[in-house]
Amino acid sequence: MSTVWNRFVRFISTDDRELCGEPDSSVTDVGLALSKNEVVPVKVLDVASPLQDGGKFTSETATIKKLLSPLAAKEVGTIRCIGMNYRDHVAEMKGTIPTVPEVFTKPSTTLIGPSDPIILPKIAPDAVDLEVELAVVIGKDCKNVDAESAMDYVLGYTVANDLTCRDVQNGILQWGYCKGYDSFCPIGPVLVSSKTIVDPAKLQLGSIVRGKTLQSSSTSELIFKVPEIISYVSRGTTLPKGTLILTGTPAGIGHSHNPPLRVDSRQSLPPSNVGRLWNTRGAPTYHGNSYFGYQSAADMIEVESPQLPTGMNNIGVRSTYDGRRTYSYRSERGSYSHIWELLGYLPREKAVVDKLVTAFIEHLNQVYDGLHEETFMTRYEAFWNRKWSDDDRSVIDLRWLSLLFIVLAFGELLECPANASRDIRELSEEASLQFYWASRTAITLAMTFYGESTDAVRCGILITRYLVYLGRKTEAWLASSFSIRFAQAQGMHIDGESWGLPPKVLETRRRLWCSAHALDKYISLGLGRPSATSDKNSMEMKIRNVWIDDKAHDEAQVAMERPENDPTPSVFYIHQQKLSKILGLIQEECFLLTPLTTSYTSYAKVLNLDEILLAWAASLPEYFQVENPLTTMDNSRPYLYWQRLYLHFAFHFARVTLHKTYVLLDSIADRFEYSRDVCINSASADLKLKLSISNTTMADRLRAGATMHSLLSSGLVLGVLVVRDPLSARAALILEDLTAYCEKQNSDPWANEFALAEVRVIELCISSARRSRQESGIMEERTTSTHSQDVNFVEANPPHQNGLPGLYRSPIMTTNPAAPGPVTNTENDPVDNDTWLENWFGPTRSLPEPGDFQSWERLIGSLAPLQ
């Protein structure tokens, strides 16, 4: 609808007249200005209501004495409200997405102005919550309106505070009574015309009480958008001009807030209370001023993205001390305002947080070794038992808070059933990602305000695992450097035995360093990027086969190391440390900016490193053995199963990474046959492990997904090999396994875009190989046994040594005389091969990322024509 005004205000002027108009300045924040007792001039309109037609500006300018609600209560009538209409709010309440709008009503007697006091009823004075909402004002009568034309009836938008008596609500089924008390619907301070806000689905809104963010979301989270709401509530019902529709509230409501919101729940700008819809925060300045002004119940701004960075505005509260201008730590300009910002990400109910933390400790902590449970829970209880807002500065440590947030990110995923619907999965993932971003924000800020701590190292490790699980490997590479730098700053790269550290501290530091070091090496090598650590500048950790985390100080002092056949969780780190050092050697010798070539000397280094890997595998205790491991202790020590898988995945990753450079190369003497067989065998074993993990629960999915197998795309390696040699003896079996793997991934409802990008490339390889086989007259048959299940195969011996024991035996892949690859030349074979490698894989010899589908199409195309 067209109006002469953009921002409408109704007010009492300084000469005690009730007037209507528009603020003289289009950039003045009315709410903030009035809260600071500033003069707000208004261009006066010749109408007494925004609902009157034909209004125009007079020549008069008046000054606001008191701001009124944009609409009078008598103009509004019955207020329509929509419940459970934000996806993040539904997820917060552990509910299901509604199929139709949940409608309830509030009487017009609830309507008050933006600065009017809230009158708490005697029936329920102790648990009153605010709910920020976008309110829609209907500008002309409508009935049975369709969604396409619904916006033609919208006059404008304002902000509403849908106050609720929770203790009354908990005892009834209908919501109207607990939300219908007098003064329970403040609106304002301005009414913004519909022509000014083109898309109401791009508004940011939030609520802040006592300087603490309760809600921060976007109208893009609305389940039913404004046109759908108007269409629904107008079915068979006339919506008179002036009807107010509250569209729902986002996550973060003060439900069971501790302490409950009360009449004295003041904001940062005195003498405000819950009813004043302005004063503590405004829109981030680089986006411009908010249409609605500063609000304690809500702040909104039209933005292009549903995500709006917070904390960008440094407008604070003035106070004085000793005659000097200072700022409270609770203000927006205070040194500790970041704490208030971050606390807004936490669920309001402690029971919700308890559940997520418990899920992490029960299902993941023993395998991840992510927390020292006793220490963490002591800090956790102190956090919840603190005196809210008054001692946040002294109790809340951002390093610990960041650790809590990443624990909640995992816990949120754990609480989602593996067979949940798509909507529930999306809500769970979004909630988990919000906790993850809160953790990243907190750990980044912690570097400014605090020194290093073990909490910061643990947080960095868990963030890295979280990103590995999501398949975001490049972000994981960045995150792993956080934990490395935090650990190095505390001297964890030096074994602390010579420093006389207590045994519990010493063993904890050793395990943390081994975890951070291993993640750094694995991810860097997997991406072909530099690592953050150099083994020349760190010591080998003297990890012992003891577990003293749960022992008292005196008991830990005298604890004896157990024999190898009586493993504790620590024994895993002994072997992980050795393997990660081998990975460091592989990276230093083979994947520097000046990489190995196909010369005899260079390839000999690869074979020597392969011998070191095989020797490491042969040294594993029987319960970690790569072939036929002892599993009798798995029931009593469940961590052994996952630790075994982690070591096996890492071993296959190391061998494939070491040899993958040579799998597509030819020579007249077939010098690289051994590398091809190694890659086939290790990639097949890795694929077998992936197919064997059922992922029936979210806990198993997270235990498996946050490990090194996510860094090795064994399916891509096998896909390239079968494209290179589609007529080999094992090609049909490899294709069978790859097809099964793609089917498994495609049917996995939790597979994200990274996993599906890999599947798309593998399917391209399968299609290319099968086309080549069909052109050669080979019929495709479905086999009953798969390649990865066949363990009786023979691995070719390295060219320079006879009888080197191989851990995986397979029939040698028959080389097709017309096999694709670089053109061979008996006189100058290495030069042609090296040139081909440089063209396709660059100096680090890394395969393209699965998301780079065009590069994969070109690579597969360069192989296929030569078949």
**454-470 vs 473-489: helix crossing angle, rounded to 10:** 170
As a whole number, the mean pLDDT across the chain is: 78
Distance, CA of 150 to CA of 449 (rounded, Å): 51
Q: How many residues belong to the chain?
A: 867
99 and 219 together in one domain: yes
By C-alpha distance, which of 128, 107, 87 is closest to 185? 107
The domain boundary, picked from 511, 532, 553, lies at 532
Distance, CA of 442 to CA of 196 (rounded, Å): 36
285 and 342 together in one domain: no
Distance, CA of 186 to CA of 188 (rounded, Å): 7
716 and 768 together in one domain: yes
Distance, CA of 587 to CA of 531 (rounded, Å): 9
DSSP label of 186: E
By C-alpha distance, which of 624, 538, 544 is closest to 581? 538
Is residue 671 assigned to a domain? yes
Its pTM stands at: 0.58
By C-alpha distance, which of 717, 708, 714 is closest to 580? 708
Helices within 591-713 (DSSP H only): 600-618, 639-659, 673-692, 698-705
User: Is-contact 191 6, C-beta < 8 A?
Assistant: no
Angle value at C-alpha 205, between 200 and 206, nearest 5 degrees: 165
106 and 190 together in one domain: yes
Is residue 571 assigned to a domain? no
Choice among 116-120, 174-178, 762-766, 815-819 with the minimum mean pLDDT: 815-819
196 vs 256, more confident: 196
78 and 61 together in one domain: no
What range defines the domain where residue 474 resides? 338-532
Is residue 552 assigned to a domain? no
467 and 486 together in one domain: yes
60 and 97 together in one domain: no
Is residue 685 assigned to a domain? yes
Q: Which residues contact 784 (CB under 8 A, 6 or more apart)?
A: none
695 and 814 together in one domain: yes
- Determine the straight-line distance between the first and last CA of the chain, rounded to whole angstroms: 67
The domain boundary, picked from 517, 532, 547, lies at 532
How large is the greatest C-alpha to C-alpha distance in the chain, in angstroms?
104
Is residue 742 assigned to a domain? yes
Distance, CA of 460 to CA of 541 (rounded, Å): 20
Structure tokens at 619: 């040294």
Q: How many domains, the chain? A: 4
Confidence at residue 210, expressed as pLDDT on a 0 to 100 scale: 66
Per-residue pLDDT reduced to its tens digit, 409-467: 999 999 988 778 888 888 999 999 999 999 999 998 887 777 778 999 999 999 999 99
The domain boundary, picked from 26, 53, 68, lies at 68
Is residue 595 assigned to a domain? no
Q: Find where tokens 């007792």 sit.
A: 37
Per-residue pLDDT reduced to its tens digit, 285-320: 222 233 343 332 333 333 333 332 333 232 223 333
Confidence at residue 144, expressed as pLDDT on a 0 to 100 scale: 95
User: Is-contact 222 248, C-beta < 8 A?
Assistant: yes
666: buried, middle or exposed (CB in 10 Å: 19+, 13-18, 0-12)? buried
User: Is-contact 92 415, C-beta < 8 A?
Assistant: no
387 and 348 together in one domain: yes
Distance, CA of 679 to CA of 673 (rounded, Å): 10
Is residue 383 assigned to a domain? yes
Per-residue pLDDT reduced to its tens digit, 210-248: 667 788 888 999 999 999 999 999 999 999 999 999 999
Angle value at C-alpha 391, between 390 and 395, nearest 5 degrees: 155
Distance, CA of 398 to CA of 455 (rounded, Å): 9
Confidence at residue 277, expressed as pLDDT on a 0 to 100 scale: 52
50 and 78 together in one domain: no
484 and 414 together in one domain: yes
Q: Which residues contact 387 (CB under 8 A, 6 or more apart)?
A: none
Is residue 546 assigned to a domain? no
Q: DSSP characters for 190-225?
A: -EEETTT-S-TTSEEEEEEETTEEEEEEEGGGBSS-
Mean of pLDDT values over 758-787:
74
Mean of pLDDT values over 45-71:
92
707 vs 274, more confident: 707
CA distances from 712 to 230, 402, 473 (A): 51, 29, 11
Per-residue pLDDT reduced to its tens digit, 317-376: 333 333 333 333 344 445 456 777 888 889 888 999 999 999 999 999 999 999 999 999
CATH code of 268's domain: 3.90.850.10
Mean of pLDDT values over 378-397:
73
By C-alpha distance, which of 152, 135, 156 is closest to 3? 156
Confidence at residue 656, expressed as pLDDT on a 0 to 100 scale: 87
736 and 636 together in one domain: yes
Distance, CA of 569 to CA of 644 (rounded, Å): 11
Confidence at residue 217, expressed as pLDDT on a 0 to 100 scale: 86
